Amino acid sequence: MNVLSDPTKRRWLAWAALATVFLLVNLHRLSTAVISEELTVDFETSAAQLGTLHASFFLIYAAIQIPTGVLADRLGPRYVGSIGGIVLSLGAVGFALSGSYLAAFASRALIGLGSGVIFVSILRFCANWYRPDEFATMTGLTGSIAGLGAILATTPLAVTVGQFGWRATILSLGGVGIVAAGAVFVLARQSPAAAGLEPIEGVPEQPDITLAELGDHLRTLARDLDQWLLSIVFFAGNGAMLTLVGMWGVPYIVVVYELDVTTASYFTLLASVGVLLGPTTIGWFSDRIERRLLPMTVGIGLFAVALAAVPVFGQPPLAVVAVSYLACGFLFGAAMLSLSVVKERYPPSASGIATATVNTAGFVGGTVLPAAMGVALDAYQTGETVEGTVAYTEFGYRIAFGILAATVAVGFCCACWLMVRERARSQ
């Protein structure tokens, strides 16, 4: 049988095409940590401006999540995913060619606009092509692609930028993105039936949904306390992870330990390895034990503990920092379970809008937390530079990382509240 006519094989090809675009999404959104020195020099930015430039991606990304859920439910991953891939790639070209801070800000926002539709499109695809007892595993596997992108955005990106320059590197990524978007258009479809294939056993039918029904689901989501608690969990987990790997994890090590950027990127590489392994492992474990809230709550609690190493000790041994970064990446998988929880509480036809709602909060976190840390750090400038990175005091970094740890601790409290509510409903 031709691989394209076998639905169980075709779904993996289509998922791989979507995942390739998602890999590029993560390369772009986390790249500012490694190229922060070049951006500071080229655009003459302060810490707050650099944090805002980084956050411009997440600002637009967060803003379009709910519209993306509507589009994914109505149009399907083929069109939404391929158009998103083209838009983010054009944004990358613009970013590479930017001659001013304003142009770079606008181009990075365009990258965020295209990138913002990809993850929800993949989740919508997985809901249509995989069984419910495979969904957390597939969500985790998709999250692991984020980890792979994060790995490439650390030491490999630092070496490539050092060899070819940041502009040529980003421009090349734009070209790869256009090719990957074409693959999505060719391979992805709304469902096996839409591809002219036999249904896959155990995969629920995905009925068409009207705009009126989508409006009803949105109103229900807005009144749903569980959705708000899950959104806070993902705000904390996703926001903290993106801030650590994508923005301030490298500058902290460069300044406090006086290491070069490439060496410092090894530590965020460890965090990215954690993201590569954690979501798939935790998602698979959750599917096997058929429980979501318990592993989510325990994982988020441990995530807060791992983040607390910097605010508590300021300059702990580098081995402790390495373990902390690795653990944070692995335990991010617990935060991703919030997407599986909300998906399972709404009808299959609304899976896109339900996951998009919680996903919105995660990227609001990715917008707010880097800028908040930048504002906190600006209050503790030393007036010096280390390896081209603006230097802040150790106490400034303790305050900034304290913001992250406290945010994840609030997420842990919300996860505990969800468990209490779940227990009360079952009695």
Residues 117 and 35 both lie in one domain: yes
| Angle made by CA atoms 110, 112, 117, in degrees to the nearest 5 | 110
pLDDT at 48 over 60: yes
Instruction: Tell me which of 197, 217, 239 is where a domain ends.
Output: 197
Structure tokens at 17: 């095409």
Residues 123 and 228 both lie in one domain: no
Percentage of the chain surpassing pLDDT 70?
Answer: 95
- Structure confidence by residue, pLDDT tens digits, 3-34: 788 888 889 999 999 999 999 998 887 787 67
Helix ranges (DSSP H) in 244-308: 249-257, 261-289, 293-307
Residues 158 and 298 both lie in one domain: no
Instruction: Tell me which of 197, 230, 257 is where a domain ends.
Output: 197
Q: State the pLDDT confidence band at 388, using cuts at 50, 70 and 90.
A: low
Q: Is 267 exposed, middle or buried (0-12, 13-18, 19+ CB in 10 A)?
A: buried
Dihedral sign for Cα 96, 98, 104, 107, please.
negative
d(C-alpha 78, C-alpha 15), whole Å:
11
Per the structure, how many domains does the chain have?
2
- Structure confidence by residue, pLDDT tens digits, 145-195: 988 887 887 778 888 988 998 899 999 999 999 999 999 999 988 888 888
Q: Please check whether residue 239 is in contact with residue 332, taking contact to mean a CB–CB distance below 8 angstroms.
A: no
- Whether residue 57 lies inside any domain: the answer is yes
DSSP result, 62-78: HHTHHHHHHHHHHH-HH
Other Cβ atoms less than 10 A from the Cβ of 395: the count is 12
- Whether residue 48 lies inside any domain: the answer is yes
d(C-alpha 289, C-alpha 7), whole Å:
27
Q: Residue 83 sits in which domain range?
A: 1-197
Phi-psi region of 350 (alpha: psi -120 to 50; beta: other; left: phi over 0): alpha
CATH code: domain of residue 44: 1.20.1250.20
- Whether residue 204 lies inside any domain: the answer is no
Structure tokens at 317: 């041994």
Residues 232 and 292 both lie in one domain: yes
Return the residue matching tokens 């081995």: 319
The reported pTM is 0.78
| Angle made by CA atoms 148, 154, 155, in degrees to the nearest 5 | 110
Q: Please check whether residue 227 is in contact with residue 358, taking contact to mean a CB–CB distance below 8 angstroms.
A: yes
